[in-house]
Structure 1
Amino acid sequence: MLDYLVIYESETGNTKKIATEIFAALPGMSKDLIQLHERTDIPEAKVYFVGFCVHRGTCSLEVGNFLGSLSAKAVALFGTCGAGNSEEYFRNIENSARIWLEDDNLYLGGFICQGKMPQQVRMKYESMLHQGDSEEDEKVKRQIQNFDAAMVHPDKGDLCHAKEFVNQCLKKLSE
């Protein structure tokens, strides 16, 4: 049995970047880094760091099913999200994914940060402008501003926060 398993899904590379940083911050050699859909032989571990890209405010069904399969483990969640760069929104995402965990697991916490989105998303936003509703146009303009701000994420600050998150999780384990 491994001490740590960092398992994740990533579509654009954002979550993979965070997963790699988390893996590097974990101590020792009894650890592995796995992309969820690339392996069927998932090793057992004492501590799981489970990562996902956010769609519609939560994790995918595949990640949810994996979380639901864990029992009597220590589990931490992490993810990347293009839209809604706010702590409140990130907490809501964490809580919606955490629902999948059985109560016999030790929940260590969650870390969500912003991530860049595909250019098609911006193009979709742009096509929604000038619909005649100035209130709706303002909302779309804010979404475009968020898209542009997300283009540099995850950045060095996000990676530092991921390391801090690992240290917080390890501290909880030693208490």
Structure 2
Amino acid sequence: MKYAVVYSSRTGNTRQLADEIHALLAGQDVVYFGEPSENALDAQYIYVGFWTDKGTCDENTTAFLKQITAQKIFLFGTAGFGGSEDYFAQIVSRVTEQINPAAQVFGTYMCQGKMPEGVRRRYEAMPEGPKKQMLLHNFDEALSHPNEADLNRCRDAVLSAHSV
């Protein structure tokens, strides 16, 4: 079997997950590792990583997913808002809509990731109130993610979805 690990990472969060998956696949026939590229399409199993943009995957990942035909896909990603498996499931559902029906999603993993500092400045400029405080608290919580526990859960998700 041939494998590829493709990722889009704005702040380095998704790259951390991609590195973990790539390490798990060491010794396997990995034909591609890097940003979205046609070179990854030669693989039977494609691990596709993305950062969350407006509740779905980023544009580069969307364009790549539309090129996949009948491969098996493991989706992984990061989102600034964390702690809610329901929220992560909604994101994965939206991302899955971008995939050719002939392709098969054989696993997924999502975790929280730190956000750019510009996001915090936007939150700080908001009018005082509970929403502002909640957003600032979430921003601060996200600063430590992905952490070692997130990376361990990523490895476990990959191993349970597909024997490497």
TM-score (normalised: structure 2) = 0.92
Aligned to 1:116: 114
Aligned to 2:7: 8
Measure how far apart 1:41 and its partner are: 4.1
TM-score (normalised: structure 1) = 0.86
Q: Is the 8 A contact 2:3 2:46 kept in 1?
A: yes
- Residue 10 of structure 2 aligns to a residue in which SS? coil
The residue identity in structure 1 corresponding to 2:154 is A
Backbone CA RMSD of aligned residues: 1.7
Aligned to 2:156: 164
- Stretches of structure 1 that go unaligned for 5 or more consecutive residues are 131-136
Q: Within 5 A, what are the aligned runs for 1:16-27?
A: 16-27=15-26
Aligned to 2:134: 142
Q: Which runs of 4+ in 1 moved over 6 A?
A: none
Count of residue correspondences: 163
Separation (CA, whole Å) in 1 of partners of 2:72 and 2:15: 21
Aligned to 1:62: 60
Measure how far apart 1:28 and its partner are: 2.4
Superposed CA deviations along residues 74-93 of structure 1, whole A, max 9, x for unmatched, are 10100011124310000000
Superposed CA deviations along residues 121-151 of structure 1, whole A, max 9, x for unmatched, are 1111111033xxxxxx101111111100000
Separation (CA, whole Å) in 2 of partners of 1:108 and 1:59: 18
Separation (CA, whole Å) in 2 of partners of 1:60 and 1:120: 18
Q: Is the 8 A contact 1:26 1:166 kept in 2?
A: no
The residue identity in structure 2 corresponding to 1:142 is M
Q: Percent identity?
A: 35
Measure how far apart 1:165 and its partner are: 1.2
- Stretches of structure 2 that go unaligned for 5 or more consecutive residues are none
Q: Is the 8 A contact 1:85 1:146 kept in 2?
A: no
The residue identity in structure 2 corresponding to 1:75 is I
Measure how far apart 1:114 and its partner are: 0.3
Question: Which structure has the larger Rg over C-alpha atoms?
Answer: 1
Superposed CA deviations along residues 41-98 of structure 1, whole A, max 9, x for unmatched, are 4451010000001010001232112112111111010001112431000000001001
- Residue 144 of structure 1 aligns to a residue in which SS? helix
